[in-house]
A and B are shown apart, each in its own frame.
Chain A
Amino acid sequence: NAGVTQTPKFQVLKTGQSMTLQCAQDMNHNSMYWYRQDPGMGLRLIYYSASEGTTDKGEVPNGYNVSRLNKREFSLRLESAAPSQTSVYFCASSEESNYTFGSGTRLTVV
């Protein structure tokens, strides 16, 4: 099984550009998440989707939007990228106490 697949793995954007980070899981999990990881700050929750059809803000949602396209897919969109959004982004899915993380997207905004 692939688990949680994130695309792309690396991306460089110019300030003001937009992009969508894709995430798909094949474990039939109900819940999905987007986290960002910054040095010294651990992983911070951006948005989550408790189940298909619902999305909610996490700790650091400003500048981001999400779409739970179906049970498998949960995308993260940056409408107008800023240097402060330079980070490593992780998608995760869960069912009860089982959490699976993707391998991450390293995003640099210049």
Chain B
Amino acid sequence: AQSVAQPEDQVNVAEGNPLTVKCTYSVSGNPYLFWYVQYPNRGLQFLLKYITGDNLVKGSYGFEAEFNKSQTSFHLKKPSALVSDSALYFCAVRGPMNTGFQKLVFGTGTRLLVSP
């Protein structure tokens, strides 16, 4: 069974500084990895995903994530944080497509707070 760990409940960063939100995963086979963002009282917005190919994935709003197979990690990064990036971020994983139906499993979320 697949699982995701987001070890930090909250990440605090000053505007203009780089940010990292951590995610590690466990899954049999090659993973499909996702990042979603949730603003207050809103649904989930897709940021980016890794399926195969280049380990550095670029997504929406200037975010990127690096897939590291040896460390089973998929950390979310942004070179320069904005106050408007403050939100709840979820990492999610599913197993490979060719092994039958796989459910999307979420981490517990990390709240990002960017201070002016």
A-to-B contact residues, CB < 8 Å: 31, 33, 35, 40-45, 48, 50, 58, 90, 92, 94, 96-97, 99, 101-104
Contacts and interface: CB of A to CB of B under 8 A. Distances in A.
Interface residues of B, number: 23
Given A42-B90, A42-B109, A97-B32, A33 B104 contact: yes
A101 B101 CA distance: 18
B46 A99 contact: yes
Interface in B87-111: 90, 92, 94, 97, 101, 103-109
Interface of B: 6, 9, 32, 34, 36, 42-44, 46, 49, 51, 90, 92, 94, 97, 101, 103-109
Would you call the interface of chain A mostly helix, strand, loop, or mixed? strand
Given A42-B106, A48-B103, A101 B90 contact: no
Nearest to B42: A103
Nearest to A41: B108
B96 to A, nearest CB: 10
Given A33-B103, A40-B109, 14 more contacts: A40-B9, A42-B90, A43-B92, A43-B106, A45-B105, A50-B101, A58-B103, A90-B44, A97-B97, A99-B46, A99-B104, A101-B43, A102-B43, A103-B43
Nearest to B9: A40
B80 to A, nearest CB: 27
